[in-house]
Structure 1
Amino acid sequence: MQFGILSGRRAAALAGILALSVSSLAACGGDDSSAATTSDGLTKLTLLRSTGGTFEAIYIAQEQGFFKDAGLDVTIKAGAADTSQNVPSVLKGEAQLAMTDIGGLVKAGAEGLDVKAVAQIQASSDDIAQSDGLLVAKNSSISSPADLEGKKVGLPVLGGNLQMVAMYSVEEAGGDPSKVDWVALPTDSLQDAVNKGQVDAISTFATFYTTAVADGLKPIDKGGQELLGDPQSLIFADSGWLDDNADVAQEFVDAFSKGVDYANKNPDAVRAVDTKYTEMDADTIANRDISPFDYSFDTEAVDTAAANFYKYGITDNDVKGTDLLWSDAPTD
């Protein structure tokens, strides 16, 4: 059974954007797909990264020369704030690769957009302290996700991975996620919103989460650790481009995997990327827990996530998550 949660103008806008993508962009997949080269014979690629983080291993692969050693000249650009909106850019050939989370991938697949994930970047893990999830004000009487029925919960984006995990938390606690009022708010205003009583709870991530906890907000679930292995960030490409450039894609994945291994062994390199490409303050960068990078997908977790998006009514069409992975994508 589906939970109906996305309605009104926001749902219509999302449907309109994706419908436009299906009708006007699907034919673009594979067009002009031959890989361009530099004067040095390197294959040119453009990758759209997220604006919020988890991209450190990509820059490290570039800085350590792993891409160049693989014959690639990779240009990394900031993509859309909502990474699901990177899909049209890839389908139009404005970039060959882009970041999103499992939500962006599943929503694209559910709308018939022909993209595939080529590598994971990070997945939910219990190797470090919790770094995302549901929070309430320190004086709130809410103590469980089940208590959120009839309450308003703020999120950075409606229909994304954070919402799927939060809905799973509510259901696992015995509540009905369809009875929660999910609202989108600017990420940097979520903490103020719950403290001022504008919302009853928030779901947030990364430094926004750790800062809010340090300031006294109370966690009421395990966040991503409710669904271990859930892909929180990944890299995808147009299927037509992958068909025509499988060797190039494999070279990219191999080089990126070296960047992941280097990042996991050298946290100072990760902090250096944070300093250069994020707006985190120096104290946060120096002291934050760094989630492990993992380029290999947990196929069971991918399928579970996709099933949840349909179950909770975030997508209208049911898709199998592993059908959205490139045939040569690394998997566990």
Structure 2
Amino acid sequence: METSRNPRRRTVLILTALAVTGSLTATACGGESATATTSDGKAKVTVLRSNGAIFEPLYIAQQQGYFKDAGLDVTIKAGAQDTSQNAPSVLNGEAQFAMTDSSGFLKGAAQDMPIRIVTGLQSATTKTDPTDGLLVKKSSSIKSFRDLEGKTVGISALGGTIQFICEYLVQKAGGDPAKVKFVALPTTSLTDAATSGKTDAVFSFGPFYFAGKDSGLRSIGNGMNDVPGMVQGLLFSSRQYLSKNGDTAKKFIEAVAKAITYANQHPDAVRAIDKKYTQVPAAFIDKHATNYYDKTLNTTVMRTVITKMHAFDLLDKEPKDSAIYWDQAPTSAGE
């Protein structure tokens, strides 16, 4: 069990090592600056997906022929378990695009990695019911995020999106995030940690969140949906690849955008992909609503996330927008 109130030093050291490794490899190999093509002239593209979810539009774009119609030959591969570690593979040309979440990308951007977001895949929204959130025992004295002061919260990883959302909601409720202790636990152990009293609360997600509620745990708030517009899934590429292959990248994100629209209109297609590529039981997949996908990157909310992550000591510095988004990415300042 890993415990930390301030994982900043550990995070910075890891990311610095990744940045150096990626930069050296990209320099040695020259990166993937020129688009490889198939014998019939299609541009070859490799994209690294997450191991959990939100990758469904990628497979839909493949199944519905959107990539093929755009003149692309796309290979989808499972990336690193921690998606923030996909950056070196993109920098050295092993893949042209990769998935991660807000904090995963921002940590790389804060370390001056030459990577840029090309499109969103999913953002927190009030259009759907929560699929993640804080769970406590029914008898717990914790009634709001403010009550987490002096308490221990179990999360799947330190220093990432989940720790950020907990600290942000504690502060929003009038509490002091610095007084909350976080411990890293296996995702599969979160429910047991809360029910056994090993932790005062846990922040869980997906099937584990619903399993925790089914076991009798009580949820507080609406999870990440309490920060509408926060990017939960995105695709990024290297600045070098984008500068040399802008047309290919544009075709790629346009195909993904078509797939996002299709996914939102055809939930059964999403369920079929989840049954094939995840380890979630089919009965659970059929029982619950599918994700709502969104290509739009809300720059206003992202800036709030950046500012707060830095204030909470989860980011070494605040990267500028010019170091975050590709100039062709679907950005919006929101309402």
Q: How does 1:61-140 map to 2 (within 5 A)?
A: 61-140=61-140
Post-superposition offset of 1:148 = 1.1
Deviations 1:94-124 (A, max 9, x none): 1111000000111111111111110100000
Q: Measure how far apart 1:55 and its partner are.
A: 0.7
The verdict on how the C-alpha distance between 1:233 and 1:324 changes in structure 2, with shifts beyond 3 A counting, is same
Aligned CA RMSD, in angstroms, stands at 1.6
**What letter corresponds to residue 23 of structure 1 in structure 2?**
V
Give me the whole-angstrom Cα distance separating, in 2, the residues matched to 1:253 and 1:273. 20
In structure 2, the residue corresponding to 1:280 is in which secondary structure? Answer: coil
Q: Distance in 2 between matches of 1:215 and 1:324?
A: 41
Deviation at 1:17, TM superposition (A): 2.2
Post-superposition offset of 1:181: 0.8
Q: Which amino acid aligns with 1:244?
A: K
Correspondence for 1:247: 247
Aligned twin of 1:174: 174
| Deviation per residue, 1:128-168 (Å, 9 max, x gap) | 11111211122212111111111111111111111111111
Q: Which runs of 5+ in 1 are unaligned?
A: none
Does residue 25 of structure 1 match 2:22?
A: yes
How many pairs were matched up? Answer: 326
Q: Percent identity?
A: 44
Amino acid at match of 2:12: A
Task: Tell me how far 1:12 sits from its aligned partner.
Answer: 4.4
Measured in 2, the distance between the counterparts of 1:206 and 1:294 equals 18
Partners in 2 of 1:46 and 1:323 — Cα distance?
23
137-146 or 12-21, which moves further after superposition? 12-21
With 210-219 and 226-235 compared, the bigger mean Cα shift is at 210-219
Higher mean C-alpha displacement, 148-157 vs 248-257: 148-157
The residue that corresponds to 1:317 in the other structure is 317
Q: Which amino acid aligns with 2:119?
A: A
After TM superposition, the score normalised by the length of structure 2 is 0.93
User: In 1, distance between residues paired with 2:32 and 2:164?
Assistant: 36
| 1:272-309 superposed Cα distances (whole Å, 9 cap, x missing partner) | 00110011111111111222111111121111111121
Calculate the TM-score normalised by the size of structure 1: 0.94
Q: Could you say which residue in structure 1 is the equivalent of 2:268?
A: 268
Distance, in Å, in 2 between the alignment partners of 1:159 and 1:281 is 29
**What one-letter code is carried by the residue in structure 2 that aligns with 1:41?**
G
1:145 equivalenced with 2:151 (yes/no) = no
Distance 1:157 1:283, change over 3 A: same
Which moved further from structure 2: 244-253 or 156-165?
156-165
Tell me if the contact between 2:18 and 2:85 (Cα under 8 Å) persists in the aligned partners.
no
Q: Secondary structure at the match of 2:331?
A: coil
Which sits farther off after the overlay, 234-243 or 322-331?
Answer: 322-331
* Higher mean C-alpha displacement, 137-146 vs 64-73: 137-146
SS of the residue aligned with 1:98? strand
